[in-house]
Amino acid sequence: MTVYLVGAGPGDPALLTLRGAEVLAGADVVVYDRLSVASLLDLAPAHAERISVGKQPGGPRTSQEDINALLVARGRAGQQVVRLKGGDPFVFARGGEEAAALAAAGIAFEVVPGITSAVAVPAYAGIPVTMRYSSTSFTVVTGHEDPAKGEASVNWEAVAALGGTVVVLMGAARCRAICERIIAGGMAPDTPAAAVQWGTRPNQRTLRATLATLADLDPQPPATIVIGEVAAADLAWFENRPLFGRCIVVTRAQPQATALAAKLRQRGAEAIEMPAIAFEPPEDLDRLVQAAAQVGRYDWVVFTSPTGVARFFEQLRDARSLGGVQVAAIGPGTAAALAERSVVADLVPEQYVAEALLEALSQGIGPDGPGRALIPRAETARDVLPDGLAAAGWEVDVVPAYRTVAPVPDPDAAALLDNAEVITFTSSSTVTNFVDTFGADAVPAVVATIGPITSATARNLGLEVAVEASEHTIDGLIAALEAFFAS
């Protein structure tokens, strides 16, 4: 079988190539480094063996000879091996040595180039490595060699003399000596210089200075250093996104947690998916089965969550039985779940809470007076809606469509919470379950909720609510977070 030397890109998992994702999906073994992004490992099948060869905290780094031997052994054993390497596998990454070892052993290998940090990290800092007329070349140099040795293999004077843009990888620790050598080589001390730390990641940080002053800012690895006129370019975009650098915990159930996390990441946040709620079938599924079979007897079916919609439609045998029935949705998320099933909600209240739904339904009563309503919903939920409808003369059947449970927390999850700045709650149960599981002290500083009911639950548990969505939807919650951090 083949050993793939795959470039993983500089950090943003979306910068893996399609070919890289393809070979990962078929991997038996993934051999990866310390800087690898954990979510890329998720692209390998669950059964794939994952072997870290990076330097472990407190442990030694696996030697290059041992890595080569590992790749040869696994390739010889007939496994599909993915050797995942930061950036591009052939740019300061010893991929050449690994390929040579494989070739010498007669093991088939393929190289999947990656997006190198030498170009992508400056790009994420808004620095183009070339500019027409002013910067007509870029030189990528290792800063790993000790420039003070004198006999170092990098000819810094020549690099300085060439002009253009100089990109230094692995140079954070020796930043001062490198800049001094380049100045000695004739480049002006006031040449713009930048160091981009943790580029393309949510914790990216760009230090801007000149060749003479960059070292004073004490850049920390991993950093890409850019020297030249282009380093003064002010084309920042990545760091300007509205939630850039915010670490936000998402407590919604899966798969909605992933959808919300993706939206937050798009706005620059680091999103931690920590579902505090999961859905299971109700204790008594029969009632839902019966209600779905006889849905034509109702005037209205009222949905109060996307999950209620999903569970109800799982039981609905024939869509035509809904033909004469009006359908209400508590908000746009629930209406969207209906639309996915080709049902257009007849009613969505202006405010997405039970009280507003009750009022809207009461106003919608036709000439025949109050009707019969079916409410398929969570086993435990507030009674505002059924009680209000009943009080107004409706005949109401509340049918449990699902049960919410608190998922067993991941033991590593608590550690992640330490770095989190914000937590989002999209329902009262997420608050209650989260506090039950982790304790109120573990709740990150900024609590953001989808609306007043969830906020009230949070306050009852002693939490201070900093952000509350005025439109009670996921997009409303995101907008409220953006507004909070903009002010």
Report, as residue numbers or ranges, the catalytic residues. Answer: 33, 55, 170
The verdict on 198 binding ligand SAH (CB under 6 A) reads: yes
The verdict on 196 binding ligand SAH (CB under 6 A) reads: yes
The verdict on 16 binding ligand SAH (CB under 6 A) reads: no
CB of 355 to ligand SAH, least distance (A): 49
CB of 308 to ligand SAH, least distance (A): 43
C-beta of 126 vs 386, nearer to ligand SAH: 126
Which region, judged by CB under 6 A, interacts with ligand SAH, from 91-99, 241-249, 413-421, 445-453?
91-99
Grouping H, G, I as helix, E, B as strand and the rest as coil, residue 468 is strand
User: Which of 121, 154, 292, 358: binder of ligand SAH (CB under 6 A)?
Assistant: 121
Grouping H, G, I as helix, E, B as strand and the rest as coil, residue 140 is strand
C-beta of 88 vs 468, nearer to ligand SAH: 88
Grouping H, G, I as helix, E, B as strand and the rest as coil, residue 153 is coil
Site string for ligand SAH, 140-179 (x = CB under 6 A): -----------------------------xx---------
What contacts 472, CB < 8 A, 6 or more positions away? 331, 351, 352, 353, 450, 451
Q: Which residue is nearest to ligand SAH (CB)?
A: 87
User: Which of 223, 272, 276, 375: binder of ligand SAH (CB under 6 A)?
Assistant: 223
User: Which of 68, 80, 116, 326: binder of ligand SAH (CB under 6 A)?
Assistant: 116
Give one DSSP letter per residue of 400-448, joined into a string.
Answer: EEEEEEPPPPPTTHHHHHTT--EEEE-SHHHHHHHHHHH-GGGS-SEEE
User: Which of 26, 128, 163, 221: binder of ligand SAH (CB under 6 A)?
Assistant: 221
- Give the span between the Cα atoms of 141 and 163, in whole angstroms: 13
C-beta of 170 vs 209, nearer to ligand SAH: 170
Which region, judged by CB under 6 A, interacts with ligand SAH, from 60-68, 218-226, 318-326, 359-367?
218-226
* Angle, CA of 421, 422 and 425, to the nearest 5°: 155
CB of 235 to ligand SAH, least distance (A): 17
Grouping H, G, I as helix, E, B as strand and the rest as coil, residue 182 is helix
Q: Where would I find the beta strands (DSSP E) of 53-185? A: 81-85, 109-112, 138-142, 165-169
CB of 160 to ligand SAH, least distance (A): 19
CB of 223 to ligand SAH, least distance (A): 5
C-beta of 15 vs 316, nearer to ligand SAH: 15
- Give the span between the Cα atoms of 16 and 6, in whole angstroms: 9
Tell me the β-bridge partners of 165: 138
The two three-digit tokens of residue 163, written as one number: 């002009």
Residues near ligand SAH (CB under 6 A), total: 25
- Give the span between the Cα atoms of 93 and 113, in whole angstroms: 12
CB of 246 to ligand SAH, least distance (A): 19
The verdict on 20 binding ligand SAH (CB under 6 A) reads: no
Q: Where would I find the beta strands (DSSP E) of 217-275? A: 223-227, 247-250, 270-273
- Give the span between the Cα atoms of 391 and 443, in whole angstroms: 39
Question: Nearest-CA neighbor of 5 among 74, 69, 98, 87?
Answer: 98
CA 340 to chain centre: 25
Q: Is the dihedral of CA 457, 463, 467, 473 positive or negative?
A: negative
- Report whether 17 contacts 43 (CB < 8 A): no
Which region, judged by CB under 6 A, interacts with ligand SAH, from 60-68, 112-120, 231-239, 362-370?
112-120
Tell me the β-bridge partners of 50: 30
C-beta of 85 vs 311, nearer to ligand SAH: 85
Residue 7 burial by Cβ neighbours in a 10 Å radius (0-12, 13-18, 19+) = buried
The verdict on 122 binding ligand SAH (CB under 6 A) reads: no
CB of 126 to ligand SAH, least distance (A): 14
- Give the span between the Cα atoms of 303 and 357, in whole angstroms: 10
C-beta of 203 vs 460, nearer to ligand SAH: 203
- Give the span between the Cα atoms of 365 and 175, in whole angstroms: 74
CB of 87 to ligand SAH, least distance (A): 2
- Give the span between the Cα atoms of 114 and 134, in whole angstroms: 28
User: Which of 93, 309, 357, 385: binder of ligand SAH (CB under 6 A)?
Assistant: 93
Which region, judged by CB under 6 A, interacts with ligand SAH, from 16-24, 53-61, 195-203, 316-324?
195-203
Site string for ligand SAH, 57-86 (x = CB under 6 A): ----------------------------xx
Which region, judged by CB under 6 A, interacts with ligand SAH, from 148-156, 199-207, 372-380, 464-472?
199-207
C-beta of 111 vs 169, nearer to ligand SAH: 169
C-beta of 10 vs 349, nearer to ligand SAH: 10
Instruction: Give the interface with ligand SAH as residue ranges (CB under 6 A).
Output: 10-11, 35, 85-88, 91-93, 116-118, 121, 169-170, 196, 198-201, 221-224
